[in-house]
Structure 1
Amino acid sequence: MSIVSKICCLIFSGLLFAASCIAQPLPDYKPSHAEMVANYKEAARRDSAVLKTIGGFSVVPHWIKGEEAFWYSNVLAGGKTEYIYVNAKTGAKKPLFDTDKMKAAIQEATGISDPRENATIPIIGYRSSSKSIIFVFDGKNYSYDAAKNKLTTIDSLPQVELASVAFKEPPSRWESFETDSLSPNKQYVAFIRDNNVFIKKVGEDTATQYTFDGSNSYLYESLAWSPDSRYVVGYHIKPVKDSSVYYVLSSVPGTTRGQLRSQAYKQPGDPVTTYEMYVFPVDNNKGIKVQTPVIDFFDAPLLHWSTNKQYFFYEKMDRGHQRFRIIRVNAASGETNTVIDEQTKTFIYTNRIFTHYLPATNEIIWSSEKDGWYHLYLADDRSGDSKMITQGNYVVRNIDSIDEKKRQIWFTASGMNSNEDPYFEHYYRIDFDGKNLVALTNERANHKVVFSPDRKYFLDTYSTIDQAPQTILGKTETGKKIADIQKADISSFLQVVKTLPHAFKAKGRDGVTDIWGVYFVPANFDSTKRYPIIENIYAGPQDAFVPKSFIGYSREMQSLADLGFIVVQMDGMGTANRSKSFHDVCWKNLADGGFPDRILWMKALAKEHPYVDTTRVGLYGTSAGGQNALGGLLFHPEFYKAAVAACGCHDNRVDKQWWNEQWMGYPVGKEYEQQSNVTNAYRLQGDLLLIVGEADTNVPPESTYRVIDALIKARKTFDFLPVPGMGHSDGGPYGRMRKRDFFVQHLLGVAPPSRNDSKADL
């Protein structure tokens, strides 16, 4: 063999050896039973020891009437509280009062030898007029004049002066809307008698009957006066009595028999009550049928009247959630025209529709995802012509308030900044014409802002999953920071927990879209070992669920990780708060659960961190998460090996109508059966624990029992934990204990602690 050949062989052998070294996985983390018991004890110790270790976690301002100032209570690490006064113009801080002087005054008045050692003094309020502190101590009410260092006992707590906030949330459009029977001008009364409509003058016995065809099965109801007292709007209603679901309380104290309970419960496809709209003019004894389709979804809608009171508007969502309209009604004639008519091939997210009516200028602000992102529009309330207020590849998340005089909108949005987590919420102000967009928050974090009552100032508390909360004071007009107010002290917290969760992103199924999540490692983490994964899953399309702010004492995922797992959570496609196309993945497709994205995310995490073991993966979830948890074993058994599913809505035909028709569509189609965990129970591979509370009024317990029936018929093995008296939950403390034991046994291969041993101390 030539020298060149020998060299090539050596190089090739070296490459093979290097490749084999690289491919060699880390040894699995497999504790002994004794080590596992110690992990349980240590996790429980941390859960207890972590309390009261964080100081300055939040700032809740109490704005002082007549001053550009506020005070707040600051809970320190250890649990003691201090009270801070802040000059909003300068950001200067000082104690609200001299604590030592106040406590000395308390000692003199109460005879308590050392009030410094007593519980924190609960301050009820601050009275700016007298510069006095109102509080309760040792069961008595006091007023303390800080300037005069004078303590006065008071018989009752006075009404504390508070600066009011003008903006109020409007009533829900989807509740059954009606007004008081007395007209706004106090001259007439509208009422229902024998299922028909009557109107009479106040003080008179004789009433004018407007309808004559009302009956128990086709009645008139839900009367609402116009603001000028000229009209009453009402409905001819065909009521539907909802069918009931049942459950049995097996263990009610003082009984020897199970107690049957029932409740009315609409399921997908069930018939609904319908409403035909009428107008009843006070000056005419004949009703006018409004020329509009029958309302076959939700109840009598909220009415919005024009300035001249000749027209009113109402909103209509068609059953199936694919068409939303704003309809304008001529009260005198019953004629209508549709101002806004939005239709989609998938769904319109009903609960996130925003509308705000501007009758003085004949305009409507409304929200839509018609351009692919959730944005705000300004429409003419007569023609419906509209233009975008916000636009871009980001999501308007919430409307804080609207200033009609300045024609400005205050809102939150996420995804506007390309260099950060697209779920971080930021606060903005924008003019009605889409100009003068002002960002009030800048730090790369999740933000929560509260404004002063006059909106001149704001307090911004921001944090991330691994960065402690900070609060700054800012000037609303410019968005500029005035002063740092507080930063949470987590030094003692870190001494207990040892580690914080981490954010991680990876590409989803399309190879382009970033999927964002978090992961938790054990407190006694050893990077030279490989740990099983447990996914906390909830893929309900109504929101996104991965925590974005500092979670502090919320310990469930970290406490589970401390037993010897990598615990993860991520938002896959089909959840909310991203683009419309991202959300649309869930349409008639809840079984998808974002699993293709979730699995890729975990594989990417393992590629970057060799201590993550994708051969031992479990998942758990509650409600829709319970549906997802079992779905992981049914539809992706090649990846998931164990699941704990609590009170799952395993068959979308069994669950509540309003939630399931929103995502699975109406009429009930073949998708409902095809994607049911009951229908697919025969597919089960891996280890399964089902948990259900027998008193669940949210998802009928029979949803879980139907899965059990199908599993038994398919001769599958599984564990089952019914919890007597428990409602819709993960099984409570006992259910969470059993969940931990289940994963320890099936993913770590270690016997969990034996709690039936009389010598056990767990």
Structure 2
Amino acid sequence: ENVTQSELWVFTRGQKAVKQLNVRKWRDQSLQDVHWPMNGDKVRVVRRDRPQRAVDFIEVDIGTNAIKTLLADEIEGAALEPKNIAYLKKGGDFLWWSQKTGWGMFYVYGFDGGEKRPLTTGQWNANSIVKIDSTTQQVWVSGQGRETGEQLYQTHLYRVNADGTGFTLLDAGNAHHASTLGENGMPSVVSPTKRYIYDTFSRMDLAPKSVLRDGASGRILSTLEEMDLSKLKELGFKPAETFSVKAADGITELYGNMWKPFDFDSTRKYPIITYVYPGPQTEGMTTGFSVRGPLMQLAQLGFIVVEVGHRGGSPLRSLAYHRYGYGNMRDYALADKKYALEQLAARHAFIDLDKVGIFGHSGGGFMTAAAMLLPPYNEFFKVGWSESGNHDNNIYNQNWSEWNHGVKVIAKADSASGAVRAGGTGAARRGGPGANAAAREVVQDSTNADKITFDIRVPTNDELAGNLKGNLALATGDLDNNVHPGGTIRLVNALVKANKRFDLFIYPGEPHGYRGTGPYNQRMLMEYFGEHLLGDYYRGNGEIK
């Protein structure tokens, strides 16, 4: 109930006091992207309601506090994620990012509001504005999923005229072009003269290469640097193998990477372990080149180690994909993980599907424990290593939980009868399987902001403690500055009360990222999977060799 409140104050040079601007529309609203569009007479700000399903872009007159709404965006069954406003030139049209078509696209609006035209179109994700040339009215945009025959998370750079014409790919090639940054204080990959483009690209199975491209056509002019993997290969290094499988719906394409032991023998049977992270702010799947040390290291013990995506895991695809788990934060990814591993086992005789492990950190720790506790996944996954998990999202960050799970907006009880006045459940579902449960029950606006309240209850791992069947290890730092260690302690308490056997690691003085005990934790993780999936009980005493 007592959540952070956002206020807007202005200080005018020469005056002794600061003045608060009344921009309140919704209860517990947040403010972002505060900026001066021209001078100090008017300020612009994006305000967002607490459920994060509606936003207004407004202009406030400093002298009169008069508010002009330049645009409004709203969605049901999902959360909005507006990006900062970008102007084509000072005092000119601005760009607004929206998923109103189900895909993230940029739209051109007049300086005083009013949509003029789409800047980008299609079924792909326009991700960020890299650079704007206010003279030529050209815009450089990064995005994912537009190029056919490529993994959908590979990023590319495009140029387009402000009127939507002249759309041009500037870094062709089946790879992840990771350097497409630019506006908002980031170094630009487009040269000041716009004549050149700096591009570094790679894939999991393609070493990074940096090139200089022609700014007009994207043609490679010169190779600047290429990573030399020869020394790694002399040591036996082999990159992960890439693959794709279907989600549990049998339609949606998922992407993954597979690490094998360097001495891999196709005639053997190997236990399989999956590294997980549920997102939805980022998917636990690596796109560009990486040795992924902990995963590669674990594989050398005699495991097949994989990471693979799932519906609801990434904002770099469609809105439906990104918000699949809206209203079902705990369970949404598990069906896809199980089905992905089953498909891999059907393809590869060397995978032993009777010996399946799972591990992850933070959200991945939460997901790992859920997999070990929720039927039928607790039968499928035999061993889980769960680090710093937000096992009870009701005591985690309010903003993150409400943004990703969804919060109900309900009317306060009538003071006389105690009855709750509520409307319908809102528009058609846009998110995942639990989206309707989290949809608005009343419409909140400036007229009823003080007459509504919010309700959220995220399913926890604690309530599933009695279902534990396999071997589960829980780890947390006792000074975790992100996910409160109380989340792990609550699960420990529930497991004890359920009379379940489990393992617990508490790292004194450690925050969310294990700084000093990272290598120790990795060693314990490896031994845990070695014991329970390989039967290799290395631990004979307290000595670590």
TM over 0.5: yes
Counterpart amino acid of 1:742? Y
Q: Secondary structure of 2:378's match?
A: coil
Instruction: Report the Cα offset of residue 305 of structure 1.
Output: 3.3
Instruction: Report the Cα offset of residue 459 of structure 1.
Output: 2.1
Is 1:401 the counterpart of 2:131 in the alignment? yes
Alignment deviations for residues 210-267 of structure 1 (CA, whole Å, 9 cap, x no partner): xxxxxxxxxxxxx4xxxxxxxxxx32xxxxxxxxxxxxxxxxxxxxxxxxxxxxxxxx
- Map 1:27-38; keep pairs closer than 5 Å: none
Counterpart amino acid of 1:621? G
**Alpha carbons 1:324, 1:348 under 8 Å: kept:** no
Match of 1:649 among 379, 385, 390: 390
Distance 1:732 1:379 in 2: 49
Q: Which residue of 2 aligns with 1:632?
A: 371
Q: Which residue of 1 aligns with 2:48?
A: 317
Counterpart amino acid of 1:297? Q
Q: Secondary structure of 2:209's match?
A: strand
- Uncovered stretches (5+) of structure 1, i.e. residues with no partner: 1-173, 192-222, 224-233, 236-276, 279-289
Alignment deviations for residues 101-134 of structure 1 (CA, whole Å, 9 cap, x no partner): xxxxxxxxxxxxxxxxxxxxxxxxxxxxxxxxxx
Is 1:535 the counterpart of 2:274 in the alignment? yes
Instruction: Report the Cα offset of residue 379 of structure 1.
Output: 1.1
Q: Which residue of 2 aligns with 1:571?
A: 309
Instruction: Report the Cα offset of residue 387 of structure 1.
Output: 2.1
Distance 2:6 2:160 in 1: 30
Q: Secondary structure of 1:409's match?
A: strand
Distance 1:513 1:335 in 2: 48
Q: Which residue of 1 aligns with 2:521?
A: 735
Q: Structure 1 runs of 4+ off > 4 angstroms?
A: 174-179, 330-333, 358-362, 667-674
Alignment deviations for residues 377-397 of structure 1 (CA, whole Å, 9 cap, x no partner): 111243422421111111122
Instruction: Report the Cα offset of residue 452 of structure 1.
Output: 3.0
Q: Which range moved further: 677-686 or 645-654?
A: 677-686
Q: Which range moved further: 740-749 or 294-303?
A: 294-303
Is 1:706 the counterpart of 2:436 in the alignment? no
**Alpha carbons 1:176, 1:300 under 8 Å: kept:** no
Alignment deviations for residues 384-422 of structure 1 (CA, whole Å, 9 cap, x no partner): 224211111111222212222221221211111121101
Instruction: Report the Cα offset of residue 624 of structure 1.
Output: 0.8
Distance 1:581 1:464 in 2: 26
Q: Which residue of 2 aligns with 1:189?
A: 15
Match of 1:388 among 112, 115, 118: 118
Counterpart amino acid of 1:739? L
Q: Which residue of 2 aligns with 1:514?
A: 253
Counterpart amino acid of 2:71? I
Q: How many residues align?
A: 484
Q: Secondary structure of 1:745's match?
A: helix
Alignment deviations for residues 245-292 of structure 1 (CA, whole Å, 9 cap, x no partner): xxxxxxxxxxxxxxxxxxxxxxxxxxxxxxxx24xxxxxxxxxxx6x5
Distance 1:303 1:425 in 2: 29
Instruction: Report the Cα offset of residue 300 of structure 1.
Output: 7.7
Q: Which residue of 2 aligns with 1:432?
A: 162
Q: Which residue of 1 aligns with 2:35?
A: 303
Is 1:691 the counterpart of 2:475 in the alignment? yes
Is 1:558 the counterpart of 2:296 in the alignment? yes
Instruction: Report the Cα offset of residue 548 of structure 1.
Output: 1.3
Distance 1:705 1:740 in 2: 23
Q: Which residue of 2 aligns with 1:335?
A: 66
- What is the alpha-carbon root mean square deviation over aligned residues? 2.4
Q: Which residue of 2 aligns with 1:747?
A: 533
Q: Secondary structure of 1:545's match?
A: coil
Identity of aligned residues (%): 28
498 and 464 in structure 1: CA distance in 2 versus 1, 3 angstrom threshold = same
Instruction: Report the Cα offset of residue 360 of structure 1.
Output: 4.4
Instruction: Report the Cα offset of residue 466 of structure 1.
Output: 1.2
Instruction: Report the Cα offset of residue 358 of structure 1.
Output: 5.1
663 and 537 in structure 1: CA distance in 2 versus 1, 3 angstrom threshold = same
Alignment deviations for residues 627-681 of structure 1 (CA, whole Å, 9 cap, x no partner): 0010111121131111011110001101111211111223499986562001222
Calculate the TM-score normalised by the size of structure 2. 0.83
Alignment deviations for residues 577-625 of structure 1 (CA, whole Å, 9 cap, x no partner): 1110011112121112422222221111111111112221111111111
Match of 1:501 among 222, 240, 246: 240
Instruction: Report the Cα offset of residue 329 of structure 1.
Output: 3.2
Is 1:665 the counterpart of 2:403 in the alignment? no
Distance 1:363 1:619 in 2: 49
Distance 1:311 1:177 in 2: 13
- Map 1:219-368; keep pairs closer than 5 Å: 223=18, 234-235=19-20, 277-278=21-22, 293=25, 296-298=28-30, 302-306=34-38, 311-350=42-81, 353-357=83-87, 360-368=90-98
Distance 1:409 1:581 in 2: 27
Q: Secondary structure of 1:559's match?
A: helix
**Alpha carbons 1:520, 1:557 under 8 Å: kept:** yes
Distance 1:705 1:693 in 2: 11
Instruction: Report the Cα offset of residue 732 of structure 1.
Output: 1.7
Counterpart amino acid of 1:367? W
Alignment deviations for residues 169-202 of structure 1 (CA, whole Å, 9 cap, x no partner): xxxxx997766x562xxxx2342xxxxxxxxxxx
508 and 327 in structure 1: CA distance in 2 versus 1, 3 angstrom threshold = same
**Alpha carbons 2:51, 2:406 under 8 Å: kept:** yes
Calculate the TM-score normalised by the size of structure 1. 0.60
Distance 2:6 2:145 in 1: 32
**Alpha carbons 1:509, 1:597 under 8 Å: kept:** yes
- Uncovered stretches (5+) of structure 2, i.e. residues with no partner: 180-188, 411-436, 439-455
Is 1:723 the counterpart of 2:487 in the alignment? no
Counterpart amino acid of 1:486? E
Q: Secondary structure of 1:365's match?
A: strand
Distance 1:565 1:617 in 2: 10
Counterpart amino acid of 2:227? A
Alignment deviations for residues 405-443 of structure 1 (CA, whole Å, 9 cap, x no partner): 221221211111121101101111111111111111111
Distance 2:264 2:539 in 1: 21
Q: Which residue of 2 aligns with 1:479?
A: 218
